[in-house]
């Protein structure tokens, strides 16, 4: 949350502030360690930008989709090539968005052991005690490194789209969310279905390309091309709109 | 509709039926012109196959999507390359499916002149009286050659998916539809969004590849590949399941 917003008009007599004093403030900008009466212009600019960012992402949600062991880990039930490689970037993006006031929503599969709530063409996978993302099993867990924070939201789904018969739309509306950033796996199925459903509901939709994966690069490229033509912005997360040009993290 | 089903057990004394009499029956198989007591085996077999086909497609709907002048004709507002070339095949497929007892649903765009009900990224197209598929205009009309028959259903939509906030699901459920065959334009947007939404609702989904189009062959191929991996059968309509190997038309 934004604690204070410090603005100064006119020229600053920066000559009166030592470099060391300014650096100390930069390291620990708290109320207990208040800013000097006037900081060099460069430091003031950074501080203002930080505060504005923290306010402006309150209308944004990061949707982290299907980053569960069964889809991400090599010995999972339905591993997606490249999903494991995105864990670090998703974690950094999520941390940054939380700091800026955005909501982080983990959208995950959760199936009955019988598979009766899975897509019909996948139900055979549940025969003989198999299946994927069976609720309560290790395969359904969110992978290490992306564990939800206390303020995050977890939404369970049984289909590709995170909006299909879930509370996702209501969660977003109740928080005043107007924009969603989509991350997770995989492009042609759950990423795209969720992005298209968000678009249909008039959210502004962006896809963080360095936080998404598919079975192959060709599949990823084809899906990104299609989504861009639908009006969905697809970029690495640091280039998505309303992020500062030089992210703080 | 199937009026009567004629089966005969055991060997047939076909020698007592003249060739001309059998041909007359084949041309006009009505109750007013009833079949002779026994027809040669070949004709009996055709008649039984026809009746079975007419029965078996009662649980099927053909969804003809967005085949409107603005998307199909070269001078339309948002023409799709290749859409015009599919009109003939869609018409043949629809005629065949009607004969076999299937429901044909025309799913079409219908927008307010202001564009206020269009996707947000497309609303600018409606400025200065422009737009596409504005209800009541020529561009919103279904193209020549695919005009709805009296028993067809027309569903209006404002988003990619034919299921999004429309009565389509209710129409299909009320008719006992378990399988949908998707045709129309274009692959990455309305075809795929509708197919994925049908899949989510547990319909058996098939895409008639010779009845669909996209901006390029590469886009069509990529989308078909993705949909097949979702469990959606994608084939030219004569090869879709439950069509006879040699169609009647």
Q: Where are the domains of chain A?
A: 59-110+139-239
Helix locations, B153-242, DSSP H = 168-174, 192-200, 217-229
Res. B22: pLDDT tops 50: no
Q: How distant is the Cα of B200 from the closest Cα of chain A, in angstroms?
A: 6
What's the pLDDT score for residue B184?
98
State the nearest Cα–Cα gap between A200 and chain B, in angstroms: 6
Indicate the burial class of A176 (C-beta count within 10 angstroms; 0-12, 13-18, 19 or more).
exposed
Q: What is the mean pLDDT of residues B5-22?
A: 40
Residues 6+ apart with CB under 8 A from A199: A205, A230, A231, A232, B119, B121, B159, B160
**Residue in chain A nearest B232 by alpha carbon:** A121
Q: How close is the nearest chain A Cα to the Cα of B243, in Å?
A: 21
CB contact under 8 A, A189 and B230: yes
Handedness of CA B21, B24, B25, B26 (dihedral sign): positive
B125, B197, B203: which to substitute to probe chain A, counting the most A Cβ within 10 Å? B197
- Measured CA to CA, the distance from residue B68 to residue B133 in angstroms comes to 8
Contact B226 A120 (CB under 8 A): no
This prediction has a pTM of: 0.77
CA proximity to A89, closest of A232, A233, A227, A211 = A211
**What's the CA gap between A120 and B199, in Å, rounded?**
8
For chain A, list residues with pLDDT below 70: 1-55, 241-249
pLDDT digits (tens, 9 = 90+) for B49-58: 444 555 679 9
Tens-digit pLDDT profile for residues B165-199: 999 999 999 999 999 999 999 999 999 999 999 99
Q: Which CATH superfamily is domain A59-110+139-239 in?
A: Isochorismatase-like (3.40.50.850)
- Tell whether domain B58-239 is in CATH 3.40.1190.10: no
- Mutation to test the B interface, candidates A163, A188, A199, A223, most B Cβ within 10 Å: A188
Sole residue written with tokens 């290790």: A138
Q: Which one-letter DSSP state was computed for residue A134?
A: B
Backbone φ and ψ of B180, nearest 5°: -120, 140
Mean pLDDT of B79-90: 97
Q: What are B112-123's pLDDT values in tens digits? A: 999 999 999 999
- What is the complex's ipTM, to 2 decimals? 0.74
pLDDT band at residue B43 using 50, 70 and 90 as cut-offs: very low
For residue B157, the model assigns a pLDDT of 98
What is residue B128's predicted lDDT score, i.e. its pLDDT? 84
Distance between CA B193 and CA B197 in Å, rounded? 6
Cβ contact (<8 Å) for A202 and B120?
yes
What does residue B50 show for φ and ψ, rounded to 5 degrees? -60, -45
Are B237 and B86 contacting, i.e. CB atoms less than 8 angstroms apart? Answer: no
Range with the lowest mean pLDDT among A224-233, B71-80, B124-133, B140-149?
Answer: B124-133
- Three-state secondary structure call for residue B81: coil
Alpha-carbon distance of B162 to A159, in angstroms, equals 17
- Mutation target to probe the B interface, by most B beta carbons within 10 A, among A222, A231, A234 is A222
Sort B7 into a burial class: Cβ within 10 Å, 0-12 / 13-18 / 19+.
exposed
Angle at alpha carbon of residue B52, lines to B9 and B205, rounded to 5°: 150
Contact B207, B233 (CB under 8 A): yes
Pairing mode, strands B153-157 and B179-185:
unpaired
Q: Average pLDDT of B66-95?
A: 97
């Amino acid at each position: 949350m934004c604690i204070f917003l410090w603005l100064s008009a006119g020229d600053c007599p920066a000559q009166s502030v030592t470099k060391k004093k300014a650096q100390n403030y930069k390291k620990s900008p708290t109320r207990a360690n208040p800013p000097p009466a006037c900081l060099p212009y460069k430091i003031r600019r950074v501080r203002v930008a930080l505060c504005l960012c923290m306010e402006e992402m309150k209308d944004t949600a990061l949707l982290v989709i299907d980053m569960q062991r069964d889809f991400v880990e090599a010995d999972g039930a339905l591993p997606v090539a490249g999903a494991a490689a995105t864990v670090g970037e998703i974690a950094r993006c999520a941390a940054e968005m939380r700091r800026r006031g955005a909501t982080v929503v983990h959208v995950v599969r959760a199936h009955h052991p019988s598979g009766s709530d899975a897509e019909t063409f996948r139900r055979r996978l549940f025969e003989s005690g198999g299946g994927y993302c069976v609720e309560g099993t290790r395969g359904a867990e969110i992978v290490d490194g992306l564990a939800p924070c206390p303020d995050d939201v977890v939404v369970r789904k049984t289909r590709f789209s995170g909006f299909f018969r879930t509370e996702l739309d209501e969660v977003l509306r109740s928080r005043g969310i107007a924009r969603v950033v989509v991350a997770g796996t995989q492009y042609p199925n759950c990423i795209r279905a969720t992005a298209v459903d968000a678009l249909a509901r008039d959210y502004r939709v962006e896809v963080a390309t360095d936080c998404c994966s598919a079975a192959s690069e060709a599949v990823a490229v084809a899906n990104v091309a299609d989504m861009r033509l639908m009006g969905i912005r697809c970029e690495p997360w640091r280039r998505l709109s309303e992020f500062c040009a030089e992210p703080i993290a």
